[in-house]
Amino acid sequence: MESAKKLLESLWVYGVAAAVDVPPTVEDTRRAVEAVAPIMHTTFGDIAAFEANLERADTAYTSEYIGLHTDNTYWTQPAGYNAYDRAEMSTIETDKVYEVYSAYQKLGRAITEPSREFQIKLQPGTTLFIDNFRVLHARKAFDGRRVMIFAYVLRDEFLSRLKVAGVFSGL
């Protein structure tokens, strides 16, 4: 399917892609996601709908602002997340630690600089794909009712689909 290949290319090149005119149902969203890669089973199931109803002890189930983040950082197999950033810094000499933390703070300021933000107001029928290895995402606070449908895919499965589609030849 040519549209699936274009979506894969966008996700690989830019770290984000959108499928439009996807009927806002769990099953139609499932089909859109499975065009990218098989869905990963998680504590939420394989695909789930949620709204701001505090059904779970998770900020996603509120209408509050959620700052920049990647998902699943607390999982042992997060969706597209590099767990190595949690390793101890045993390769850095003690006298260089201050420089590392200074650089880390500088990176934090650069990441949160408002001029570097891109905002999109999702509409029903748009499925947004985010490369959880490369792109931070956030959410503005909102009023009213909103239902979101979401799923995750493993990075290995995504990379495999890229190779099969001829978008990417290897790592």
Check residue 42 and give its pLDDT: 79
Q: What is the pLDDT of residue 102?
A: 96
Q: Domain 2-164: which topology? A: Double-stranded beta-helix (3.60.130)
Extract the tokens encoding 143. Answer: 């009023």
Domain ranges of the chain: 2-164
pLDDT confidence of residue 133: 83
What does the pLDDT look like over 57-89, one tens digit per residue? 666 667 777 777 767 665 656 555 333 344 555
Residues of the chain with pLDDT under 70: 1-2, 53-54, 56-61, 70, 72-90, 170-171
Q: How many CA atoms lie within 13 A of 143 on its CB side?
A: 0
CA distance 143 to 127: 21
Residues 6+ apart with CB under 8 A from 169: 163
pLDDT score recorded for residue 72: 67
- Distance of alpha carbon 3 from alpha carbon 154, whole angstroms: 21
